[in-house]
Amino acid sequence: MTALERVRAGVVSGSALLLPIFALLEINYPNLRPQSQLAIFATLGLVLCFLRRRPEGARAFAAAADLALALVTLGVGVFVVLQTEPVFSHLWLDGVALGDRAGAETIWDLMVGFIGLVLILEATRRTIGWALPMLALAFLLYGRFGAVLPDWLLPHRGYNIDRLVGQAFLHSQGVFGIALRVMFTYVFLFVIFGAALEATGATGFIVAAARRLFARSTGGAAKVSVLSSGLMGSLSGSAVANTATTGTFTIPMMRSAGFSPRLAAGVEAAASTGGALVPPVMGAGAYMMLEIISPPVTYVEIIRAALIPACLYYLSLFFIVHFSARLHQSGKVGRIGADEELRFEWLRWEGAIFLGGLVALVVFLLLRFSVFRAVTLALALVLILSAVNPRTRLNAARLKRALIASSAGAVPLVAAAASVGIIVGIVTLTGIGTRLPSLILPLAEQNLLAALVVIMLSSIVLGMGLPSAVCYLLMATLIGPVLGKLGVVPLAAHLFIFYFGMMSMVTPPVALAAYAASSIAGARFLETSYSAFRIALVGFMLPFLFVFRPELLMLDAAGDTAPMGRILVTILIAVLGIVPLAAAIAGYLGRPLGPVPRTILLFSAALSLFPGSAAAIGETGISWLNLLGVLLFATVWLASGKGDERSTGVTG
C-alpha cells in the first residue's frame, strides 16, 4: 500500500466512524450552533464521497485529485464553523459572525461559498447522477438571469453572483437549511438504527420468519419477498437499498420456485418500493412533513394516516402474487427442511432484537418522545438486547463495521440534501414558490383531478432522478402554496406527493428499484421495470383515493379524526376494488381469465375505486358507481368458478 493509499484509508475510516458518533452526541446533547452542526455533518459526508473511490495503478492521479477535493471540503467546513461559533469570535472577519454578515459578505466568504457550491454539485453528481446537480445549476441560472426570461418562465429582477452565493451556501436558507437539517436530525439516526439491526442478524430473521410463515402457501416464495421487503423497507426507507439487501435472498428463492427472472425481479422491486410507505419510518418523508405541513402535524398523526394505505398496497401485492401462482401451480414453496427449521430456531433471538427495537421505537413515539430521542433510545435497546447472545453481540469489530456501513448509507443523502438546499434557497430568494401556484390553481378551480394529475406527473418525473424524499421536498417547496388552496386535507396532499415520488422507483424508463432487482435476477431491465410497474399499479391509484376519501387516512374532509364507521366502509370498498384489479393484472380468478373477463374486472376496479361523490348513497361516503363495480366483480367471480388450475410453471 502506497503512502497515498494509507492516508486515504485512514481519512475514510476516521470520517466514517466520526460521522455517526458526532450525530448521536450532537443531536441528543447539542453544544454547537445549528449551522455548525450541519457544516460538520455535510463536511464529513462529502469527504467520504470524494474518497470512496479506491486508488489503484493507473488511477493514481484521480486518487490524488480526490484527496485534494476532500481536503478543500474540509477547509470549507472548518471556515464555516470558525466563522459561526462564539468560541472562535476572535477569528470572525470584521468581528461579525457569518450568519450576521448577510448582505455584507467579505471576499473570503464569497470565495468559500462559491467553492462550497461547486463541491456539493460534484459530490451529488458522483453519488446519484447528473439529474439533481443539473437541476440545482438550472435554478442558480434562473436566479442570475431572471430579468431576461419570458413571461411564461416566471421572470424576476435577477440577482448578482454575490447574492446567489450568500443565499445558496453561506446562510441558513440554502445548503444549511431544512433539507440538510432533516437529514441530520431525523434520517441519519434511522440509517444508524437500520445498520445496527442488520449487524445483529435481523435481516436473516425477517427472511427466515417469512419463509416459515408461507412455507405451505401458494406462491409462498413471492409472499416471502413481499413480507420481508415490506418489513425491511419500513426501517431502511430506501427502495434501492432494500432491493439490494432482501433481493439477494428472495429473488433466487422465487426463481427456484418456478418464477421467471422478470416476474421475480418485478415482485421484489414493487415490494421494496412500498417499504418506504410503511410506518413507522417512511424514509425521510415523514420527518420532512413535520417541518413543512401547515398547520403543523405530529409524527403520530403522520404514521397513523399512512397506515391504512400502506396495508392496502401490500394487500394488493399479496393478491397479485397469489393469483399469479394459482395460475401457475408450481409457485409453491415446499416444506422447510430440518436444517432450515434448526436455522430458524437459532434466529429467534435475532427476532427478539428486531421486534424489541421496532416496538420500542413505536412505544417511545406514542409516549410523545421527540423523534430523535425515540430512535436513540430504541437503538440503545437494540445494543443491550444484542449483547445478551454471543451470536448477535456487537463487539468492537462488528460495531465498527455497522458504524461505517451507516456512514456509507448517509453519503448520497448528505449530497442530495445539500443540492436540494441550493434549490430551496433560490426558490426562497426569487419567490417562484409563491408564483408557481398561478399556473396550477386555475386548473384546479376547473378540475381538481386534472390538477392532481399534473402534480403526479411532476412528482414522477422529478423522482426518476432523485431519492424519493428529496423529490418530495422539492415538490412540497415548489407547489406548497398550491396545496393549501386546493381544498384538500393538507396531510393528504403531502402524502399524495410523497407516494408518487416513491412510485418513480418502479416507473419506466428509469425505475431504479427495478434496475437493482433485474441485475440480481439476470433479467432484462425494461421487462423488469414493466413487470414492477404492473405489480405496483395500485400504488398509483391509492393517492387519488385517499385525497378524495380522506377516511383512508383516518381523517374527515376537515382534517379531523373520521368516525370509525366511515373508515371501515371506505376500507371495505377499497379492498373490493383492489381484489378485481389484482385478478385482472394476474389473469386469474378461480381459473385463467381471457381478455374479456380481465377487461370487465379492470372496469369493475375502476368503478369501485372511483373517488367522486356523484350519486352518493346518503352519508356513507360510497356511491352507486362503487356498488356497480362490486356487482361486476361478484358476477365475474361467480362465473369463473374453480376452473382448470393446471399449468407447467410460473413464467409470469
Which pLDDT belongs to residue 335? 38
Q: What is the DSSP letter of 588?
A: B
Cell matching residue 393: 453481540
Residue 624 domain-assigned? Answer: yes
Q: Respond yes or no on whether the N-terminal peptide bond of residue 30 is cis (omega within 30° of 0).
A: no
CB 250 within 8 A of CB 242: no
376-412 pLDDT tens trace: 999 999 999 999 888 888 888 889 988 998 888 788 8
Output the DSSP codes for 65-79: HHHHHHHHHHHHHHH
**Range with the largest mean pLDDT of 351-365, 504-518, 634-648:** 351-365
Q: Could you say which DSSP state residue 578 is in?
A: H
> 516 pLDDT exceeds 90?
no
Q: Is residue 424 domain-resident?
A: no
**DSSP 8-state code for residue 577:** H
CB 377 within 8 A of CB 369: yes
Q: Residue 13 — φ and ψ, nearest 5°?
A: -60, -45
- Highest averaged pLDDT of the listed ranges 22-36, 381-395, 445-459: 22-36
Question: Do the domain assignments include residue 545?
Answer: no
3-state secondary structure 396-420: HHHHHHHHHHHHHHHHHHHHHHHHH
Most confident of 106-110, 454-458, 603-607: 106-110
Q: Give the C-alpha separation, 578 to 561, whole Å.
A: 24
The CA-CA-CA angle for residues 113, 116, 117, to 5°, reads: 90
- Convert the pLDDT of each residue in 52-87 to its tens digit: 765 555 466 777 888 899 999 999 999 999 999 999
Q: Judge contact between 186 and 372, C-beta under 8 A.
A: yes
Helices 261-274, 490-503: inter-axial angle, 10-degree rounding: 150
Does some domain include residue 501? no
pLDDT at 648 over 50: no
pLDDT tens digits along 527-578: 888 999 999 988 888 898 888 888 999 998 888 888 888 899 889 989 989 9
The total number of residues written for the chain in this structure: 652
* Residue 218, strand partner residues: 332
- Confidence grade of residue 644 (pLDDT, cut at 50, 70, 90): very low
Residue 202 phi, psi dihedral angles, 5° rounding: -65, -35
Identify which of 8-12, 171-175, 191-195, 379-383 has the greatest average pLDDT: 379-383
| Inter-residue contact 266 to 528 (CB < 8 Å) | yes
Grid cell of 625 as nine digits? 358507481
Q: Side-chain half-sphere of 563: how many Cα atoms within 13 Å?
A: 6
When computed from its CA atoms, the radius of gyration of the chain, rounded to whole angstroms, is: 26
* Cis peptide, bond prior to residue 150, ω within 30 of zero: no
Q: Is 561 helix (H, G, I), strand (E, B) or coil?
A: strand
Tell me how far apart the alpha carbons of residues 182 and 516 are, in angstroms, rounded to a whole number: 27
Residue 55: phi, psi to the nearest 5?
A: -75, 130
Residue 154, sorted as left (phi over 0), alpha (psi -120 to 50) or beta, turns out to be left
Q: State the average pLDDT for the chain.
A: 82
User: Distance of CA 50 to CAs 137, 255, 308, Å?
Assistant: 20, 38, 42
* Residue 288, pLDDT score: 75
Task: Quote the pLDDT of residue 39.
Answer: 96
Q: What is the mean pLDDT of residues 171-187?
A: 85
Tell whether omega for the bond before 295 is within 30 degrees of 0, i.e. cis: yes
CA distance 302 to 292: 12
- pLDDT for 623: 77
> What is the tens place of the pLDDT at every residue in 123-150?
999 887 787 899 899 999 999 998 888 8
The three-class DSSP label of residue 267 is helix
Residues 6+ apart with CB under 8 A from 51: 8, 11, 12, 15, 66, 67, 70
- Dist. CA 634–CA 629, nearest whole Å: 9
401 class by beta-carbon count within 10 Å (0-12 exposed, 13-18 middle, 19+ buried) = middle
Which of 37, 66, 101 is the last residue in one of the domains? 101
pLDDT score of 477 more than 90:
no
Q: What percent of the chain has pLDDT over 90?
A: 25
* Residue 435, CA atoms < 13 Å, CB-side half-sphere: 12
Confirm whether 636 is domain-assigned.
yes
Cell triple for 503: 412510485
318: confidence class by pLDDT, cuts 50, 70, 90:
very high
* Band (346; pLDDT cuts 50, 70, 90): low
The three cell numbers locating residue 440? 396550477
Number of domains making up the chain: 2
Residue 640: inside a domain, yes or no? yes
pLDDT score at 377: 93
Collapse the DSSP code of 114 into the 3-class scheme (helix H, G, I; strand E, B; otherwise coil) and give the result: helix
**Of 73, 101, 129, at which residue does a domain stop?**
101
Range 82-93 burial, b when 16+ CB lie within 10 A, else e: bbbbeeeeeebb
Q: Which residue has the higher pLDDT, 652 or 167?
A: 167
Q: Which of 43-57, 292-306, 463-477 has the highest mean pLDDT?
A: 292-306
Residues above pLDDT 70, as percent of the chain: 85
Q: Is 237 left (phi over 0), alpha (psi -120 to 50) or beta?
A: left
End-to-end CA distance of the chain: 50
Residue 647: inside a domain: yes
Is 600 a member of any domain?
A: yes
What's the domain range around 591? 575-652
SS3 call for 623:
strand
Q: What is the Cα 115 distance to its own chain's centre?
A: 30
| pLDDT at residue 330 in the model | 46
> Residue 223 pLDDT > 80, yes or no?
yes
pLDDT at 527: 87
User: What is the amino acid identity at position 147?
Assistant: A
Virtual CA dihedral for 79, 83, 85, 89, nearest 10 degrees?
A: 130
Least confident among 96-100, 458-462, 611-615, 644-648? 644-648
Task: Identify the pLDDT of residue 153.
Answer: 79
Q: Which of 50, 70, 101 is the last residue of a domain?
A: 101
Provide the phi-psi class of 549: left if phi over 0, else alpha when psi is between -120 and 50, else beta: beta
In whole angstroms, what is the distance from residue 534 CA to residue 528 CA? 10
Residue 332 confidence (pLDDT) above 60: no
